Structures are given as C-alpha cells and as structure tokens.
Amino acid sequence: MSVRGEFRIDTPNGTRAFAVASSNLFEIFANGTSNFLGAVGNDGFLVSFAGSAQQVLIASAGTAYVFDLTLNTLTTIPGATFSGAVSVVGYCDGFFLALIASSNTFYVSGPLDATDWTTNGASLVSVFPDNLLGMLVDHREVWFWSATRAVVYYDSGNIFPFDVVPGGFIEQGLGARLSPSQLDNTIFWLGADSRGSAVVWRAQGYTPSRVSNHAIEYAMQGYARIDDAIGFSFQMDGHYFYQLYFPTANATWRYDVATNMWHEVGYWNLATGTFIAHKSQVHVFVFGKHLVGDWGSDTIYEMAIPFYSNGVWKFADDDGNPIRRVRRMPHLSKDQKLQAHHQLQVYIESGLGPTPPLPATEAPTTLFLADPNGVVWAVGVTDAGDLETSLGLGTAGTIFINDPSGLTSWQLQVDVVGVLSTTAVGLGNYPQSYTLSSGAVRWILQVDNVGVLETNFKEPVTRAPQINLRWSDDGAHSFSNEYSMSMGKTGEFSKRVMWRRLGRSRDRVYEVNGSDPVPYRLISAFLEVGA
C-alpha cells in the first residue's frame, strides 16, 4: 500500500484535488473527506498526472486513463492506442503528452482532448540515440531526459506541434526518472551522464547548475540504488525545498534554496530507536494545506509548521509519533591542544512548553512499617490513589498524622497480613498530610477526624520540554551518555539552557537532540573553554 500520486487542477469552476492510493483514484475535498472515483492499474510505482480545465490524464502501471471533470467519469484509453506502456504524461499549450516507456517515443493529443491520440500521433526524439526516461513540462516547454542527456521541445506551431528548441540540448541526463520537479521558477533533478551519477542539478536556462555538495553526493553514491529516487518540491515559511526520497536506501534528503543547504529528514521509529525515511513520497499544496502521501500506507497527512492553539502545540509530532531532532556541531579543536570545556550554552527559544505541562515520571514514594512480628512492609500508592503494601527490605519507621481537627494524632500501622490501620495516640506536633507519588501522580495521604486513611489527588508529575546533549572525543565514532536540560515550562522565556564542567578534550564534537512535542528553535551555541 502507498499513496502513489497527488494532483491539483485549477479550473474556472474552482480548484479540485485528486490522489491515487494503491489502485484507487479519489477526489480530495477541503474538509478532509474524499470520494472514490474508480480503479486504476497498480504496479507499485508513482502515478503521473496532467490536466486541463476539462480533463485529467492519468498514467498508472503503463495504462492511460482520462477523468472528465464535467461528467466526473473515468475512462481507460485502450492499450493499442500507444506503441508501448505510458510512463509519464504532461500538458502544454492545450495538448496532452504521453511518454512511452523504454523508447524514444512520445505522443501528442489532439487539441484539448486527452482521448484523441490520432490527430497528432507520435514523434521520436532523435537528437540522441538513448531511450527516454523522464519528461516534464515547464515554462510552456517540454523537457525530455535520457540517462545521459536532455533535450527541450517547444510548441513550434507546425503540423506536428512540438520541435526542438534551438540551443536546448543538454549534456546531462537523469539519474532517477521520478526525480524532476519544478521549484524556484526552474527545474531540479537528480542527474547522471556517461561520467557518473548522483549530482543534483537545477536548470539555469538550458545550463545545469550543481546544487548538491560533496557530502551529499558521497552519501547518495554510497546507496545501493538511486535510480528509484522520487523528487518533489514545496514552499513553507518562505523557504523553497526540493526533496529526494530514496526507497531502497530508506533515506530522505531536502535542499533549502534560500540557504543553499541540505539536511536529512526522517521518521523516528520508536520500536527500533532508529530513523527511517520521512513518511512522504508525493506532495500537493491545495486548500491552503500541504498534503503528503505515505510511501508505506494509503494515508495522506497534512504537513505544517508547529503552531500554538488552546495551550497545545499542533504539528509538533508525526501524527502522535515523536519527531526526533538532531543537530551535530563541527569539530572543536585548537591545534590538538588539550582544552577544558567549562560551559556550553545552547541559544534556543525557551518557555514554549504546552499547558498543561508534559507528563513525566519520578521515583515512587515508599514508606516502610514493621508489623507486630517485626516484619517490614513497604507502603506505596497506585496511579489511581489506592494504597498498597508488599513485603519490603527497607528500614521500618513510625508515621504519625494529625487529623483535620487538630485534636488527635494517629499512628499508621500494618498487621501481619499487610493491612493498614491507624491508632489514636497523644496529640503531637505532626503533619496533617504526607505527599506520596506513584511515579506518575502525586497523592496526599491524610486521615479524617475518626482516623480513617484517605488519599486525595494532588497533581500529576510533569516536566518542561528537554534538550539532550552528548559528545564525542574520538572524531564522532563513539559518544558519551546523554545529559538532559530543561528548556523551560510555558512562559519561562528567560530560561537559559547550559551545561557546565564538561571535561577536557583535544578534539570534540557536540550533538544536541530532542523529541518533545514543541518547536526546537535552535539559534546558536556558545562554548567557554580554557587551558
């Protein structure tokens, strides 16, 4: 199961959105509901969409389908219409286009009619001998890629509508047929040619410009397979991102156009304590929402920046699963001289804890009493506030509680089978209650005016959001234990996050991480060192 494609079309009658999950075509509505429209072939690979104001053309498992936006009907185009399986579709200047897999052939429809493939028929891309891998329509031009080269076509107005753009030949091919995506008013793709692969390019006119760096290229070239990479793009908070998901490598990378920097994103697998690829392989922005389709299920998620609403942070986790954020700092060394690390302060926006605070646990409270035979019993409280006893190994003590009237003191006792009771004693200067913790909840232990024991809820055990620090003194091959620090409960905006007395090192790498459901707005870090 997977969400294999999403598509948005803006027509004079409004915006409509579609998705293919496994073998089912759905229309998605603004309120989050959907409507089943029909079945399409399913080969496990992505679906390709193209649309006009009247029709949506869909390529799935080598077969082409047409959805009529007026009649709301889905029609299968007979396979004999084309010379092979349809892999990618597009739309340009009123014409639909269909790329034939494992060939250098593409078809052009009749004007505004995705069911008419005889009026214009097929053409061969003959400027290079390679089979075509990918096709993308951008700026009213059609880009075709092989494994080593690319060529751009335009609407020439001739009998056959499309012809090669003069100067539109590019000596850079496609390393993954599903990687091209429009972004920042141009095209991005994972490239390859006769000299190698795994370089990400953006088009500057018809000249490829490298946007990957050596570190990213080294990572990608170490994957067992990159030709299955899937690319999409989106804009969030003013940043334009190009994402590459590698199914075989189980990894996801993003490029930020604004900062010209890459980062890896992932889904934290709680069961294994490891990252897997981010749970998105397709994307559409529609109805004011970023909708991403899962590669491992038929689920469509809304992706958004965390925001605060009614005391709760929204979109601060992965649909209930924690988001683990990791930032590793550069090597810190001064000519390999031994340096003392006195203090590290992480400059992060603090005081963003939710209301109520995050639940936590602490060591449960245990009281020890001796029965008449001298056997020690442990007394504790459950999360529900029930007192419980068990044979204990601690040192027995005596516990006295004054009743609310302040006229009588009561001694807490236990019999030989562990049953608790109280006995009136002379009035003394004793407390009227004790606080007991179950580990998750704190309870007040007290007696009434006739000595009956009772527990009353006091508060849950809570904590502020935390950020964790660990470090390596051997070149990031192994790391220390983690040391947690509070980021401040709600409103503690002046909370400083710092660790002191961090030892000595000749070469150190610090790493911080956190997975609480709040934003981690890490700005900078300051380290105080000395001899």
DSSP 458: E
Residues in contact with 12: Cβ distance below 8 Å, sequence separation at least 6, in sequence order: 53
* Cα 152 from Cα 261, distance rounded (Å): 29
Q: Across the chain, what does the average pLDDT equal?
A: 96
The pTM for the full model equals 0.88
Q: Which residues pair with 95 in a beta bridge?
A: 92
Amino acid 527: pLDDT:
96
C-alpha 113, offset from chain centre: 39
**pLDDT value for 310:** 81
Give the CA diameter of the chain.
111
SS (H, E, C) 467-509: EEEEEECCCCCCCCCCEEEECCCCCCCCCCEEEECCCEECCEE
Provide the pLDDT for residue 475: 92
Three-class secondary structure of residue 519 per DSSP: coil
- According to DSSP, residue 371 is labeled -
Average pLDDT for runs of 10 along the chain of length 531? 96 95 97 96 96 97 97 96 97 98 97 97 95 97 98 96 96 97 98 95 97 97 97 96 98 97 96 95 97 97 90 89 95 94 96 91 96 96 97 93 94 96 94 96 96 96 96 96 95 96 96 95 94 76
Q: Residue 465: is it exposed, middle or buried by C-beta count within 10 angstroms (0-12/13-18/19+)?
A: buried
Are 109 and 96 in contact by the 8 Å Cβ rule? The answer is yes
Question: Tokens 């009237």 identify what position?
Answer: 405
Six-digit token string for 285: 């922005």
Strand partners for 103: none
* C-beta neighbour count of 331 within 10 angstroms: 11
- CA 80 – CA 99 distance, rounded (Å): 15
Per-residue DSSP letter, 81 = G
Can you tell me the distance from the alpha carbon of 511 to that of 330, in angstroms, rounded to the nearest whole number?
Answer: 9
Residue 68: predicted pLDDT: 97
**What are the residues facing 380 on neighbouring strands?**
388
How many Å separate Cα 455 from the centre of its chain? 43
C-alpha 90/C-alpha 150 separation (Å) is: 17
